[in-house]
Amino acid sequence: MSKKSTQVAIIGAGPAGLMLGHLLRQAGIEAVIIERQNQAHVLSRIRAGVLETVTTGILEQLDLAERMHAKGLPHSGVKLADGERLIRIDIEGLTGRTVMVYGQTELTRDLIDAAPYRDLEIIWEAEDVAVHDIESDAPCVKFTKDGIESRIEARFIAGCDGFHGVSRPAIPDSVGRPYEKVYPFGWLGVLADVPPCNHELIYANHANGFALASQRSLTRSRYYIQVPLTEKLEDWPDDRLWDELALRLGPDAAAHMTRGPALEKSIAPLRSFVFEPMHHGSLFLVGDAAHIVPPTGAKGLNLAASDVAYLSAALIAFFSENDSDAIATYSEKALARVWKAERFSWSLTMLMHRFPDDGVFDRRMQVAQLDYIASSEAAQMEIAENYVGLPL
């Protein structure tokens, strides 16, 4: 049995665990990250692409934003397509702020590459990770690494292990409560080394279903289409996917769309999920471990970042000033922001997708709302301020 101790044991080397680990190390707090996968696997996951100020701000605070500022693309607007027109939401004009298009993979790489230089230990390929004694002041994380049983004792455990992790199930049913909505479709995503069809993102509502034109750089595009959950990747050879994207995104986007071989294709189900509370005893839940949003508002990664902002400040106050007030209010503060992002992601999902049980009335509601958005600055402001990210 190998044994060690630290101040904060972090489970999961996704964006939440990595950002939290770096912020704690920057403040001189001991932290170790325990990750189930290997580094190559973590870096191969293609996920979010739009960063709010809360997320870019953490990279800046860590002095790790150089590559993001060199390669990322600040966007000042976003577009909604309704089959006939493109409605532009002038995010910068309405809010004075922009969003940053920079892939989650790149952000994760920046944080992983810096870890050895910042004395942040990441234990990769930890098997059978389990949390113990979370209702005490001396919890521990047990796992097996290279066949050797290991134990890390800590003052706190941060569960940054995503939706399928082990942290959330460790909170007793008598204490925690899940809230969930599952949508009857998924998103089929494709990544290709072709220039984007528009300099901004386009979210399209088409009779065949939702489509999104996104991007990672001026030479790399990321597209998505809504598909039934019964669909398989084999059903979508590249040509069929490009034809469908061109149709759903509309003639203007289609005219500027460059096709190319898919570098990656995957289908992700859509879900809204919140677990309350996000803190029990010595265990905190952070990011996807506590909540999932459908990707329509690009909020998943940014919510992980706001949780990290609240929790790192609370842990720093605890260890540096012996002040536990912020720890006591972490869950409440984080959840207040989470629920607002859940509402926005749900409402944009309902507006932009075709639901199998929708009738003509539901469709007319979507048309009326898109028409209202096109004609009302107040409606555009509601989208802009949520899309750019609500204040902490």
Shortest Å distance, C-beta 311 to ligand PHB: 24
User: Are the C-beta atoms of 238 and 257 separated by less than 8 Å?
Assistant: no
Dihedral angle, C-alpha 142, 309, 120, 322, nearest 10 °: -80
Q: Is 295 in the site for ligand PHB (CB under 6 A)?
A: yes
Tell me which of ligand RFL, ligand PHB, none is bound by residue 278, counting a contact when its beta carbon lies within the kind-specific cut-off of 5 to 8 angstroms: none
Angle at 238 between CA 197 and CA 240, to 5 degrees: 90
Among positions 53, 55, 296, 349, the unique one binding ligand PHB when judged by CB under 6 A: 296
Bond prior to 295 in cis (omega within 30° of 0): no
Q: List 329's β-bridge partners, or say none.
A: none
Neighbouring C-alpha atoms within 13 Å toward the C-beta of 249: 27
**Which residues, including other chains, have CB under 8 Å from residue 350's CB and lie 6 or more apart?**
none
- Binding segment toward ligand PHB, per CB under 6 A, in 34-42, 146-154, 251-259, 295-303: 295-303
Q: Which of 206, 280, 291, 299 is catalytic?
A: 299
Residue nearest to ligand RFL (CB): 14
| C-alpha to C-alpha distance for 139 and 10, rounded to whole angstroms | 12
Tally of residues, the chain: 392
The size of the interface with ligand PHB (CB under 6 A), counted in residues, is 10
φ, ψ (nearest 5 deg) of residue 272? -110, 130
Interface residues with ligand RFL (CB under 6 A) are 11-17, 34-37, 42, 47-48, 104, 126, 129, 160-162, 164-166, 268, 287-288, 295, 298-301, 304
Closer to ligand PHB by Cβ: residue 15 or 21? 15
Please give the radius of gyration of the chain, using alpha carbons only, rounded to the nearest integer: 21
Angle at 359 between CA 353 and CA 364, to 5 degrees: 70
Closer to ligand RFL by Cβ: residue 223 or 242? 223
Per-residue interface string for the shown chain with ligand PHB, residues 39-58, x marking contact by CB under 6 A: ---------xxx--------
User: Are the C-beta atoms of 286 and 307 separated by less than 8 Å?
Assistant: yes
Q: Which of 183, 224, 310, 387 is catalytic?
A: 387
Distance of CA 248 to the CA centre of its chain: 25
Closer to ligand RFL by Cβ: residue 11 or 171? 11
Residue 265 annotated among the catalytic residues of the structure: no
Q: Which of 15, 196, 294, 295 is catalytic?
A: 295
Q: Is 287 in the site for ligand PHB (CB under 6 A)?
A: no
Q: Which of 333, 350, 332 is nearest to 390 (CA)?
A: 333
Residue nearest to ligand PHB (CB): 49
Q: List 34's β-bridge partners, or say none.
A: 11, 123
**Which residues, including other chains, have CB under 8 Å from residue 61's CB and lie 6 or more apart?**
23, 26
Closer to ligand PHB by Cβ: residue 23 or 51? 51
Closer to ligand RFL by Cβ: residue 287 or 389? 287
**Which residues, including other chains, have CB under 8 Å from residue 84's CB and lie 6 or more apart?**
none
Closer to ligand PHB by Cβ: residue 222 or 337? 222
Residue 280: both structure tokens together: 């029990």
- Binding segment toward ligand PHB, per CB under 6 A, in 227-235, 296-304, 307-315, 356-364: 296-304
For the chain, how long is the longest CA-to-CA vector? 66
Per-residue interface string for the shown chain with ligand PHB, residues 196-215, x marking contact by CB under 6 A: -----x------------x-
Residue 203 annotated among the catalytic residues of the structure: yes
| C-alpha to C-alpha distance for 159 and 170, rounded to whole angstroms | 10
Among positions 22, 25, 79, 222, the unique one binding ligand PHB when judged by CB under 6 A: 222
Tell me which of ligand PHB, ligand RFL, none is bound by residue 389, counting a contact when its beta carbon lies within the kind-specific cut-off of 5 to 8 angstroms: none
Tell me which of ligand RFL, ligand PHB, none is bound by residue 296, counting a contact when its beta carbon lies within the kind-specific cut-off of 5 to 8 angstroms: ligand PHB
Residue 184 annotated among the catalytic residues of the structure: no
Q: Which of 102, 139, 196, 203 is catalytic?
A: 203
Closer to ligand RFL by Cβ: residue 157 or 351? 157
Distance of CA 142 to the CA centre of its chain: 27
Residue ranges that bind ligand PHB, judged by CB under 6 A = 48-50, 201, 214, 222, 295-298
Active site residue ranges: 75, 203, 295, 299, 387
